Chain A
């Protein structure tokens, strides 16, 4: 039941990536919060969402580029965590959750390319019969929804059958945090560190240092 529920919720949230609205709901930290709240563990949802958010901070969808699917990764990572927790009744290993998310990001970008190719067919259909504008255009919503359903049914289905090894959680969690914080800092420096913003960066660093010392 939880698998079906998460496949449905995940596919709906994923529509926000570019199909409908782009309100930012599909960003990993938000998707994680929503899934966490729906599954009754907000804290874990936010934590996993934050991990994937940092990993894909500078993942910019510019022009024709199809970057790894950060949104799908966040949903898959968070969803898998709850699938394992509910079905296998164990505390999932976060490293495995993280790997599932990374693999989903790659798989998601392949499916994204496929969706765009399908949409191309509908565009040619529109060129043949221009009265079909609304149909040709709105079919894209259905195609994207199907993409989400297929992607998450595959991921959550496999996770629910196989489960994930337990153990090593304490150190793994710390290692993961260090890894994603490093990625977040690197992404942030790449995006924002300019001459005029250098002092702001330094100020932030001093604040962080004060936090660690006291």
Chain B
């Protein structure tokens, strides 16, 4: 079985709209159906739409792994019930992996690089972010469809791949280095020392899992104090 380049491209383009109709009730269900439709032939479309009432929510870049496996199952005419069960079983594993890898690791690391280079050199920083981030992101989208289609529901074992773990570790180490380096964006002046107690307070707030909105309120109050007294 092969996906074919045109089908793969159609799937990729459709997957860019995966979250367009995100809602609290169905999450990415419509996006899932919309993307899967791009990869199956006309005869099976109607049956997929009629029979599938899937609740779908996963990391947008990792959805390809599951949709690829769904296409594989549909071509092998696996029964509806086990299809739904497999979708339910895999989506949270890919969601949690994608959230940790992309939202928590790769994106913040690359944005710190963009900030440091952007403030020190110029537009090179944001350019570096866009290029590196999208090479990784687009690779995962394509690889997801191919791996899912080839491996079927065994695609879940991709998450145990050593290379994925290595990628995460590399970015975590780069991230830690960049966080240490971050003070260089500041001007060389005495006020830099204020950073030490302020960072301490923010670390405590984050560690205590204080809601982002409360942290923003705290920042707001600090700014108001600055405006009034300094």
Main secondary structure of the interface of A (DSSP, over half): helix
A57-B112, A193-B179 known; A185 vs B199 contact (CB < 8 Å): yes
Closest to A138 in B: B20
| Chain B window 96-123, contacts with chain A (Cβ cutoff 8 Å), 1 for yes, 0 for no | 0001000111011111101100110011
Please state if B173 and A196 are interface contacts (CB–CB under 8 Å).
Answer: yes
Q: Which of B71-79, B126-134, B144-152 contacts A (4 or more CB under 8 A)?
A: B126-134
Which residues on the B side are within 8 Å of A130 (C-beta)? 49-50
Q: Known contacts A54-B115, A58-B206, A197-B172; is A179 also within 8 Å of B222 by CB?
A: yes
At the interface, yes or no: B178 with Cβ under 8 Å from chain A?
yes
A57 adjacent to B203 (CB under 8 Å): no
A141 and B219 form a contact (CB under 8 A): no
B26 with A123: CB separation less than 8 A: yes
- Minimal beta-carbon separation of B86 from chain A (angstroms): 21
Q: Which of B172-192 contact A (CB under 8 A)?
A: 172-189, 191-192
Select from chain B the residue with minimum beta-carbon distance to A193. Answer: B176
Q: Is B226 an interface residue (CB 8 A)?
A: yes
Which residue of the partner chain, among B30, B182, B206, B212, contacts A208 with CB atoms under 8 Å? Answer: B182
Closest to B27 in A: A64
Contacts of A95 in B (CB 8 A): 223, 226-227
Cross-interface CB contact of B19 among A19, A133, A203, cutoff 8 Å: A19
A205: nearest residue on chain B (CB-CB)?
B180
Q: A29-B126, A99-B223, A187-B206 are in contact. Are A181 and B185 (CB under 8 A)?
A: yes
Closest residue of chain B to A46, judged by CB? Answer: B118
Which listed residue (B17, B37, B194, B201) contacts A141, Cβ 8 A? Answer: B17
Is B24 part of the contact surface with A, judged by Cβ < 8 Å? Answer: yes
Instruction: Provide 6 A-B residue pairs closer than 8 Å at the C-beta atoms, listed in order of the A residue.
Output: A21-B16, A27-B129, A134-B34, A171-B230, A194-B176, A204-B179
Interface residues in chain B, defined as those with a beta carbon under 8 Å from any beta carbon in chain A: 16-17, 19-26, 29-31, 33-34, 37, 49-50, 57, 60-61, 95, 99, 103-105, 107-112, 114-115, 118-119, 122-123, 125-126, 129-130, 133-134, 137, 169, 172-189, 191-192, 194-195, 198-199, 201-203, 205-207, 212-213, 216, 219-220, 222-223, 226-227, 230
Q: Which 7 A-B pairs have the closest CB atoms?
A: A204-B180, A188-B179, A186-B202, A140-B21, A197-B176, A182-B198, A192-B175
Taking Cβ atoms with an 8 Å cutoff, the residues of A that contact B are 18-25, 27, 29-30, 33, 37, 42-43, 46-47, 49-50, 53-55, 57-64, 67-68, 95, 98-99, 102, 105-106, 116-117, 119-120, 122-124, 126, 130-131, 133-134, 136-141, 144, 168, 171-172, 174-175, 177-179, 181-194, 196-198, 200-208, 211-212
